[in-house]
Amino acid sequence: MTGIELFDASVDYPIYSASARSLKTAIAQKVGGAIRADDTSRVVVRALDRVNLSLRSGDRLALFGSNGSGKSTLLKVLAGILEPSSGRAQITGHVSALLDLQMGMDPEATGYENILMRSIFLGASFEEARSRIPEIEAFSELGEYLRFPIRTYSSGMIVRLAFAISTVISPEILAMDEQVGAADAAFSLKAQARINELIGQAHILVFATHNIEDAKKTCNRAVVLKHGRIDFDGAVDAAELAYKEARSEAEALSGPLALAEPASSADQPPLKNTEPGASSGPPLSGPRLARAARSTRG
């Protein structure tokens, strides 16, 4: 059964100074006893702040939020690429993440080698990977270029290839970031058609966007992220208002930079299930949530 459950999932990106990267310094501090505050205070960016989310078959979720609100991070967690630094993520089903398409391509390898490699990483066998080559060749329209290392490609060409490889099979869970499909106009049309195909076949869609009209067309649920928290969870129409509000507020405030202090319990993320029909999954009870929480680790 395809499904996604996040329980109090937080993501803290640690920011290390050069000296914090040294084992020698770390040991010297332990042994020497004299600990300077500036060396030990660990700075983290809290990109997701105790997110609770339950998705299941049929959910088409639009992800709104201003820049830096944590959309890409949330998609990475949903795709299983990033494990939450505290809390828990349960993902059941075959996920395909169309995030940063150029990532995970080997610049030194040829187009064909990249087709093989990426296909294998997306779960194909060697035979399956090879059998997909004609389709990828045709879709990417890269012709002879596929014989060359992809460092000789333009970034648009790399995106085309990555897109063609990543979308050749349809996943159960499709996670898409906002800029996917942003290639040249002709390819963009084809890419859009392919994406629509995938969306139609996916059990669950999560898709980050700024475009409310797009979301209204494809989605039946929307989440607005604000400083890494779920600020709104409900119908797309109702999200429009919350999102505009969040966007204007975000302009006034800067990013969610915080020192590694345990956040106070007053900061409980507002979980709004305003539309009973639109949102799914059993309501999460208090004690269960508490047990799901894990302490943040260093």
Ligand X SMILES: Nc1ncnc2c1ncn2[C@@H]1O[C@H](COP(=O)(O)OP(=O)(O)O)[C@@H](O)[C@H]1O
Question: Would the CA dihedral through 103, 104, 110, 113 be positive or negative?
Answer: negative
> What residues line the site for Mg ion (CB under 5 A)?
72
- Residue reference for tokens 């106009």: 185
Q: Does 71 bind ligand X (CB under 6 A)?
A: yes
Q: Does 273 bind another protein (CB under 8 A)?
A: no
Cβ nearer to Mg ion, comparing 47 with 124: 47
Q: Does 65 bind ligand X (CB under 6 A)?
A: yes
Interface residue with ligand X, options 72, 119, 209, 220 (CB under 6 A): 72
Alpha carbon distance 115, 123 (integer Å):
12
Q: How far is the CB of 76 from another protein (least distance, A)?
A: 8
Record the tokens describing residue 217, joined without a space.
Answer: 């067309």
DSSP state of 149: B
* Cα first-last separation, the chain: 34
- Binding at 69: pick from ligand X, another protein, Mg ion, none (beta carbon under 5-8 Å per type): ligand X
Alpha carbon distance 244, 247 (integer Å):
5
Alpha carbon distance 156, 146 (integer Å):
14
Interface residue with ligand X, options 9, 47, 77, 82 (CB under 6 A): 47
Alpha carbon distance 53, 232 (integer Å):
11
Q: Does 120 bind another protein (CB under 8 A)?
A: yes
- Binding at 262: pick from Mg ion, another protein, ligand X, none (beta carbon under 5-8 Å per type): none
Alpha carbon distance 82, 72 (integer Å):
11
Alpha carbon distance 233, 225 (integer Å):
9
Q: Which x/- pattern, by CB under 8 A, does the window 16-45 give for another protein?
A: -----xxxx-x-------------------
In the three-class reduction of DSSP (H, G, I as helix; E, B as strand; rest coil), residue 176 is classed as strand
Q: How far is the CB of 178 from Mg ion (least distance, A)?
A: 6
Interface residue with ligand X, options 54, 73, 85, 140 (CB under 6 A): 73
- Residue reference for tokens 């949903």: 78
Task: Mark the segment that binds ligand X (CB under 6 A) among 68-76, 86-94, 142-150, 274-282.
Answer: 68-76
Cβ nearer to Mg ion, comparing 202 with 208: 208
Q: How many residues bind another protein (CB under 8 A)?
A: 51
User: Which amino acid is it at 134?
Assistant: P
Q: How far is the CB of 91 from another protein (least distance, A)?
A: 8
Alpha carbon distance 73, 63 (integer Å):
11
Interface residue with another protein, options 61, 62, 122, 219 (CB under 8 A): 122
Q: Which x/- pattern, by CB under 8 A, does the window 225-264 give for another protein?
A: ----------------------------------------
Interface residue with another protein, options 48, 63, 74, 97 (CB under 8 A): 97
Alpha carbon distance 224, 230 (integer Å):
6
Interface residue with another protein, options 40, 126, 192, 268 (CB under 8 A): 126
Interaction with another protein in 168-187: which residues (CB under 8 A)?
none
Q: How far is the CB of 298 from another protein (least distance, A)?
A: 8
Beta strands in the chain (DSSP E): 3-15, 43-56, 60-64, 86-92, 95-98, 173-176, 204-208, 221-226, 229-234, 257-259
Q: Does 67 bind ligand X (CB under 6 A)?
A: yes
Cβ nearer to ligand X, comparing 153 with 207: 207
CB 262 within 8 A of CB 296: yes
